[in-house]
Structure 1
């Protein structure tokens, strides 16, 4: 190996890819925590983790649009790292003895929020991996030979998100709760709510994210 090889500068990383990757990792971690609260918009009742999950869809679609499907697939796969580390830390903290000065109601609340059953803990990563990779695949396939921008960019985002969110709901609820109680109504209700949000929010978020990312890369150059 020559001195020239050792001193060679690393390949530059697009600013947008760097920033979006940071946001992506954070959303994989926080999605499970937010899921403990449900909110209602009219007749739709949705667990709050969908907001972080929709941002994962937006970020992965934006990376696919600007940096290619391979980069988006790597982003989804690397997302397992912060997800796994956060799950490991949660288990560790739950196992550690609480401080005697900590109020008992705080201990109970922490355990309630973070003490998920192993079945739910396993269902989350499986649903995440399948649905996000599916989202990237559909989004890329719908692109065609052109740029796939403009209104078609928003339409591709909505279609890919709606399908992947329906699959995510099917996988997660089935793996987490099948056999515990009837899941039919929960499956239908959550799928409808997520599909509606995919068409209402995702197209505009993707268009905004792509525009912002292009602006960041333009400033970088």
Structure 2
């Protein structure tokens, strides 16, 4: 099952980068990039991997995700630079959607690498303390700690100096609150997947 989890994880990372250009609003409360809807599911997957297969498996998954994102960015940039055929009249739109800015790309990779390692570290430490008990606690605690780091780093690198400081802080707060609530809502899914895999496989769970 770990191969399926890794595949879903990497696929979600690539999808999040593709849809990141779309902004949506929650009424008058916040404006958020569509990527957060996808990205919030990557953290529970890491938690599930660390829960069942151990810390090193989680770290390897994070590393694979980073390498895959870098390769995706390289190939996207190559395809953007390919000369457009005369019948293809959407080159500008293609570039606008997939190109992104250098700052946003750097912000995404840096925040990803740091925050996902924090997820692995915090979750593993809590599992060492509680064993199989309190999965809900380590799942939410690891995600909530890492998400404040992820959101703060990404927003700061991507937008610092381009918008007022108050707006910057507002973006960080609104995105974090969205991720915080989403993490709590996804907790039952984590329990379901962990239960299904434990039932399906005889796993000598590692730490």
Partners in 2 of 1:82 and 1:134 — Cα distance? 19
TM-score (norm 1): 0.82
CA 1:193–1:187: 2 relative to 1, 3 Å: same
Instruction: Extract unaligned runs of 5+ from structure 1.
Output: 1-15
Question: For 1:46, which of 18, 32, 35 is the aligned residue?
Answer: 32
* Bigger radius of gyration: 1
Change (3 A) 1:92 1:65: same
Given that residues 44 and 193 in structure 1 are in contact (C-alpha distance below 8 angstroms), is that contact kept between their aligned partners in structure 2?
no
Report what 1:31 is aligned to: 16
Check the 8 A contact 2:115/2:147 in 1, yes or no. Answer: yes
- Deviation of 1:197 after TM superposition, in Å, equals 1.4
Query: Which of 88, 93, 101 is the aligned partner of 1:109?
Result: 93
RMSD: 1.8
Q: 1:181 to 1:211 in 2, by over 3 A?
A: same
Pairwise CA distance, 1:41: 5.0
Matches within 5 A, 1:24-173: 24-40=9-25, 43=29, 45-103=31-89, 106-149=90-133, 152-173=134-155
Is the aligned partner of 1:197 residue 2:182? yes
Q: What is the CA-CA distance between 1:198 and the residue it aligns to?
A: 1.6
Contact 1:28 1:83 in 2 (8 A): yes
Name 2:3's counterpart in structure 1.
18
In the other structure, the counterpart of 2:161 is 179
Q: How many residues align?
A: 198
Structure 2 partner of 1:7: none
Q: 1:173: Cα distance to partner?
A: 0.7
SS at match of 2:119: helix
Gaps of 5+ in 2: 203-207
| Per-residue CA distance 1:51-93 (angstroms, 9 max, x = gap) | 3222211111001000111111111112112111100011001
CA distance in 1, matches of 2:26, 2:183: 14
Equivalent-residue separation in structure 2 for 1:82 and 1:55 (angstroms)? 17
CA distance in structure 1 between the aligned counterparts of 2:149 and 2:72, rounded to whole angstroms: 24
- Aligned residues of 1:36 and 1:47 also touching (Cα < 8 A): yes
